[in-house]
Amino acid sequence: MNPTFPATLGGLLRAFIWQHRIAYGGAALMLTGISLLLVWIPTQVGRIVDGLMTHQLTGPAFYRQLMWLAGAGLMVYALRVGWRLALFGASYRLGQRLRVQLFERLGLQGPLFFQTQRAGDLMALATNDVDAVETASGDAMLAAFDGTQTLLLVMATMVLVIDWRLGLAALLPFPFMAWSFWRISTRVHEAWSQSLADFGHMSRQAQQSLSAVRTVRAMGLAAQEQAAFKRWAEASGEAAFRAQRWEAAYEPAVGISLSAATVATLGCGAWLIARGELSVGQLTAFVLLLDRLIWPMFAAGWVLSLLERGRAGWTRLAPILRAEPSRLDQGTAAPVQQARLQVRDLHFVYDSQQRATLQGIDLDLRPGRMLAVVGPTGSGKSTLLRLLLRQWEPTGGTIELDGRPLPDWRCRALSAAIAWVPQEPFLFSSSVSDNIALARADASQALIQAAAQAAALHDDLVRLAQGYATVVGEKGVSLSGGQRQRVAIARALLSDAPLTLLDDALSAVDTGTEARILEALRERRRQRPTCALVVVTHRLSAAVDADEIVVLRDGRITERGTHTELIALGGWYATQWRYQQLEASLEDGEPT
């Protein structure tokens, strides 16, 4: 577990408040000033009432007292603005820090993590759950401090300054209120936890439906997806409303308790006035002070509710923020100079699989050369590339690039050294130009165009209304599958990476285009002899010119050699080649 973040909300808030002690201290001082003034005002009113009743307060002295009251009111206003700026300024920083760290942490996680976490849930964490923790560090801290302080000050003034017997009478209903608060806060916590969990489900549902919008429509699943979304939205809303309903019960509990306290105070006060032990002004001040207790009572309920929400949010956030990165970046070597690849006795087993996906793989790829990996579907070809990219760690054996094991390289250096074109390339929702220049933001338009030409994409692009400036839509929806593949190939051609990995990346182009692209890649190796190419392909025509072809079957290399050698061997490769040649000639209408 990553120790940067404490496991509990209490721990997090303590650490954060200590870190921002000046802002919190300033807010606390201003709140104390407000509480003192708010307690002083009723006692001042009491003094004025007594002065008026005894005719001792008249003329300028009376107006002076009124001015003091007005001054105190203005001061309260100014201090209220001050604490808000200090406190909320700090609590927003917590929200911001949590969001940034969440994003950074997600960047350190590998595929295994994302196999168990869903994007929608992670979005809900970054929005709703962070909000809940932020509010707990701002509003809740304010209400807890201010409520407690006001309560203590008001009680002390009632008991010590006015009359302790009145104070005792006013306290009689308080045990009932404490019991009600405890009951209500338990229910509020349950309801908020449920609401946040259901909100996560709702976000996940929305993310899933929107990212697969074409499939959803094509399969006529829109109504079903909408119903699922509605179900989670309703469940989340219902749980939030349940929490609000329980929170609403605070008000009657406070109202009943304060009414009972007022009745007890008036009864006891009348008795004390009759005995000549209390003045009318003192009773007035006391009753006004009772009013000051409303805020601490509400604050108690509010604080409990906000902290419960914050706790529910933190319970979901902390495991993600504290999770160890699944891809350790402890290497120091950089940059990779040349694409020399050595794989020795490589084994790999996916956690969820019983059998090894790769077993005893040995490969040698020298700069300037091309390796082709072929084999039946599910034989482990893409897995091999994922291990080269360090998306997964081998369970046995070693992979060396430019003479060093992969973990010795800085992750950034490794990413910069390998241009990977996956089976389904990802395009960002920006222009085609930007998508091609992703790995080289400084590339000129001429270079981008040259890469597009080499990837046999240029002619397609000039036919688009906006040309290279065409925005490709989310995930590149406005381009065909073959165009998306060629944008990704142009991206690889433009990058400085010495090692290029094509994972069945020519499957959506015709054989003529495939040949042009392979020729461009060969030309690149000729111009930059430090570069090498690994091509995973089902179509053997893409492997013919490779310096070495390996056949993977059930995770093992069963055949290896050049095209001519493998044809002579008469194994899987030779059979597939004959079959694919026959298929191609039938498509061309040339019966053999």
Ligand X SMILES: Nc1ncnc2c1ncn2[C@@H]1O[C@H](COP(=O)(O)OP(=O)(O)OP(=O)(O)O)[C@@H](O)[C@H]1O
Binding residues for ligand X (CB under 6 A): 350, 352-353, 357, 375, 377-383
**Residue 501: CB minimum distance to ligand X, A:** 12
Three-state secondary structure string covering 117-182: CCHHHHHHHHHHHHHHHHHHHHHHHHHHHHHHHHHHHHHHHHHHHHCHHHHHHHHCCHHHHHHHHH
**Residue 112: CB minimum distance to ligand X, A:** 8
**Residue 537: CB minimum distance to ligand X, A:** 9
The beta-strand segments (E) located in 462-530 are 499-503
**Residue 552: CB minimum distance to ligand X, A:** 7
Starting at the edge strand found earlier in the chain, the sheet holding 341-348 runs 358-365, 341-348, 396-401, 404-405
Which tokens is 174 given? 């308080």
**Residue 380: CB minimum distance to ligand X, A:** 5
Q: Is 342 helix (H, G, I), strand (E, B) or coil?
A: strand
Give the C-alpha separation, 546 to 368, whole Å: 11
**Which of 564, 569, 511, 502 has the alpha carbon at shortest distance from 537?**
502
Beta bridge partners of 329: none
Nearer to ligand X, 391 or 530 (CB): 391
**Which of 565, 569, 518 has the alpha carbon at shortest distance from 539?**
518
Instruction: Specify whether the CB–CB gap between 394 and 347 falls below 8 A.
Output: yes
Ramachandran sector of residue 343 (left: φ over 0; alpha: ψ -120 to 50; beta: rest): beta
**Residue 87: CB minimum distance to ligand X, A:** 46
Give the C-alpha separation, 536 to 550, whole Å: 10
CA end-to-end distance (rounded Å), the chain: 65
Beta bridge partners of 365: 341
Instruction: Specify whether the CB–CB gap between 166 and 272 falls below 8 A.
Output: yes
Nearer to ligand X, 300 or 361 (CB): 361
Nearer to ligand X, 340 or 381 (CB): 381
Nearer to ligand X, 281 or 380 (CB): 380
Nearer to ligand X, 352 or 564 (CB): 352
Which tokens is 310 given? 């914050």
Nearer to ligand X, 330 or 377 (CB): 377
Instruction: Specify whether the CB–CB gap between 387 and 379 falls below 8 A.
Output: no
Nearer to ligand X, 423 or 431 (CB): 423
**Residue 551: CB minimum distance to ligand X, A:** 11
The beta-strand segments (E) located in 259-395 are 341-348, 358-365, 370-374
**Residue 124: CB minimum distance to ligand X, A:** 24
Q: What angle do CA 110, 114, 116 make, to 5 degrees?
A: 125
**Which of 297, 281, 279, 299 has the alpha carbon at shortest distance from 42?**
281
Nearer to ligand X, 277 or 362 (CB): 362
Which tokens is 457 given? 């994409």
Nearer to ligand X, 330 or 353 (CB): 353
**Residue 377: CB minimum distance to ligand X, A:** 3
**Residue 111: CB minimum distance to ligand X, A:** 6
Give the C-alpha separation, 14 to 7, whole Å: 12
DSSP 8-state class, residue 376: S
Instruction: Specify whether the CB–CB gap between 532 and 366 falls below 8 A.
Output: yes
Q: Is 560 helix (H, G, I), strand (E, B) or coil?
A: strand
State the virtual CA torsion across 158, 160, 162, 163 in degrees, nearest 10: 90
**Residue 145: CB minimum distance to ligand X, A:** 50
**Residue 115: CB minimum distance to ligand X, A:** 6
Nearer to ligand X, 177 or 489 (CB): 489
Nearer to ligand X, 353 or 564 (CB): 353
